[in-house]
Structure formats: structure tokens, C-alpha cells
Amino acid sequence: MFIMCTLKIPKTIIKEIDIFRKHCLWRGNDINSKRPPLIAWNSVTQRKVNGGLGVLRLETQNEALLIKFLHKFFNHSDLPWVHLIWNNYYLTRGLPGNRSVGSFWWKSIVKLLPNFKGLATPVIGNGRLISFWDDQWSQGIPRHIFPELFSFAKNSKMTIKEVKDQEQFHDLFHLPVSDQAFDQFLVLKGSWEQIILNNVHDRWKYIWGSDKFSSQKAYRSFMGQMQTHPIYKLVWKSKCQPKHRVFYWLWLKNRLNTRNMLRRRNMELDSYSCENCLWQREETLYHLFLRCNFAKACWNSIGITPPRISNPEEASVNLKHQLNVPFSMEITILMTWSIWKSRNEWLFSNRDPSVLRCTQEFSRELRLIIHRARGEFDTSIPNWLNLWQI
């Protein structure tokens, strides 16, 4: 992590590290295992609020950690390296990004300038550090808002201070300009006239509403926000063990190795039918956990009628609403886990599926929630289990 805070990690190194992380996640400590991943790595590295597993995306995290150097540089932090770079490269030579100067380390940091500018908006002081065309010092970035006028600009690298030092605003452009560019000229001139410079350094304010930089918030901004089903948030907030929550996340994503999934992965099996019931239907996720006779009996033992909903996310909401207790998410996760465990014991250990054994496993796991919840369910879980005589 220290190296990631200091240097730009080459993509080949990140790729090798990700190979080991994938192996650890899907294959455990067996170095010779060839077990395929259950879900795409891109889904694993999505934030939990975006429906992912929340594993850090190393390249993005590396960039978020390095941008703190640009934060310190542009805010003139009282540090030796900041003074050294300013005095050696930018005292009279414009802004970073205008041309490539400095050591390999500084050049790699400057390449992150577009990422930094995407997070920060300038607060005008002396105008020395703010690009007139490329920074969002007004209602937007002038280069993008006034593209026709920008095409007539004499110098696209000018700072706010250099623009204010011009006697006439029209001296910035090649004349004559087009009618559309002239309309944009009048608007931009109005903004130019409102700029008031002072003797303090320019500051930068970030999109999270503070002038303090946070690598964590930068990472979240880079990863973005997506519309996801609210059930994912409930899963990660539950008091279940991590292995249960990861299992249920895979269940919601329909990425468990049911026989239907193995068929889709072109694996040859003697049969693709469900072994837990007499119907001999294909073992899909929907059938195994909600429509199979064995699964129905397990859900019925705690007063639940499995819904006829094939979408795992909506089925989870239905199960939670039927339970209507504060720990309903924990019940849903653990009963699903117990059904899966009973199925695997039958397939791999030749132990006949038993509703009694399944409910006992469920009861044992649910009672452990009492310790993880730290007093929140001390009486409610035992009372609920006694109600259903489990």
C-alpha cells in the first residue's frame, strides 16, 4: 500500500497482483486448483452500493492515492518538494500539463491532472493556478461551453491572471470571428469582467463539498454511482458472517454452480436435473431454492410460502416482507444457505436431504447471529425460534 501511495504502479504489475487475488478468492490455498471464477472480476470490484463485492480496483485506488500530491501542489502546501517543483519548473513557465517537465515521478503525477480537475473546482485568488479555458471557474469549462469561440483563441494555455492582465478582452482572439462565436464572446466577456483577483493563492474545492482532499472519496467518485436494487444494501448490513453474505450476493447475481449454470458453462454431467425432489426438473436457481419440494418444505417449516418469482432480487423482497421481523434478512440468507448446504451434502457426501437436518443447521447459524448482533436480538431470535419449534 505504501508503494501505491507513492508511485504509479505499472499495469502489468497490477495484472499479476489481480491474478493472485482472483486465485485467493475463488480457489483458496490450493495453488494447483483450476476452479473457474463464479463471476466476472469487474462485478467483484464494483462498490457494494453498486451491486458489487467491494474488492478494491487497484488501478483506480492507486490513482486516488496519488492525486493527493496534486492537491498539495496546487494548494501550495508548505513542503520542500512542493517548493522545489514550483521554483524549478513553473515559476515562469505556465501550468502543469502545458508541457512535460520534471522527473519520471512528477511526469506520472501530472498525467493524473484530468482526474484531479474532474474532482475539483477552483476558487479564484490570484488566478495564477487556474486555466482560463480548461478549468471550471465559472458555470462550466469555457472550452466546452464556448467551442466556436475557443476555435478563435490565440493561446489556449492562458491562466486567469494572464487573461485579466490583457487590456482588451478581444485581444485574446483572432479576428474577425463568426456570428455564433461573437454571441459566445459577449457571454464570456461578461464572466471575464466579473473576475476579481486578490493576493492569496487560488484554492480548490472538491465535489464532495470540502476543500480537504480524501483518497477514499476520490476513489468513490472514480467508481461512480449506479442504480441498484435496494436488497444489496440490506444484505451487506445484515449480521450474517461474511461467507453467508458473499454466498447470498452470488445467489442474487444467479452465479451459483447449479446444474443449469454448469450446463451454460459447457460442463458435461450425467444429469442436469434436481436431485432433491421427485419432479426431476432442471436444477435452476429458481427451482432449487424456491420451487423444489424439498426447498418448499424447508421454507414452510418457518411459515414462509416461496414466491413464484424467478428474479432473485424481487424474490428476496417477497421473502423479507413475509417474515416481517427485524432480522428477516438474516433468516432469508441463512435458510438459503442451509438449503444449498443440504443439496451439497447429498451430492458430495451422500447424505440424504432432510428437512429436519436443514432446519437444525439453519437454527444453529441463526443463534450465532445473537453473538454477532451484540445484544440487538438477544431475546427476539430465541423467541422466534421457539415459536416455530426449531
Q: What is the pLDDT of residues 321-373, one digit of tens each?
A: 999 999 999 999 999 999 999 999 999 999 988 999 999 999 999 999 999 99
Query: Which residues 6+ apart lie within 8 Å of 68 measured at CB?
Result: 213, 215
Q: Write down the mean pLDDT value for the chain.
A: 92
Q: What is the mean pLDDT of residues 22-32?
A: 84
- pLDDT at res. 93: 67
Secondary structure of 246-305 in the HEC alphabet? HHHHHHHCCCCCCHHHHHHCCCCCCCCECCCCCCCCECCHHHHHHHCHHHHHHHHCCCCC
- Using alpha carbons, select from 302, 233, 281 the residue that is nearest to residue 51: 233
The cell for 169 is: 478582452
Indicate whether this model's pTM tops 0.85. Answer: yes
- What is the pLDDT confidence band of residue 207, given thresholds at 50, 70 and 90? very high
Q: Is residue 29 helix, strand or coil?
A: coil
Q: What is the mean pLDDT of residues 368-389?
A: 91
CA distance 26 to 19: 11
pLDDT at 243 over 90: yes
- What is the pLDDT confidence band of residue 98, given thresholds at 50, 70 and 90? confident
Q: Residue 343 burial by CB count (10 A; 0-12/13-18/19+): exposed, middle or buried?
A: buried
- What is the pLDDT confidence band of residue 5, given thresholds at 50, 70 and 90? very high
Q: What is the pLDDT of residues 55-77, one digit of tens each?
A: 999 999 999 999 999 999 998 89
More confident residue, 275 or 328: 328
- pLDDT at res. 246: 97
pLDDT at 304 over 90: yes
Q: What is the pLDDT of residues 76-87, one digit of tens each?
A: 899 999 999 988
Query: Which residues 6+ apart lie within 8 Å of 341 measured at CB?
Result: 358, 361
- pLDDT at res. 289: 96
pLDDT at 40 over 90: yes
- pLDDT at res. 291: 93
Q: What is the mean pLDDT of residues 37-65?
A: 95
Q: What is the pLDDT of residues 155-202, one digit of tens each?
A: 988 889 989 888 889 899 999 999 999 999 999 999 888 888 988 888
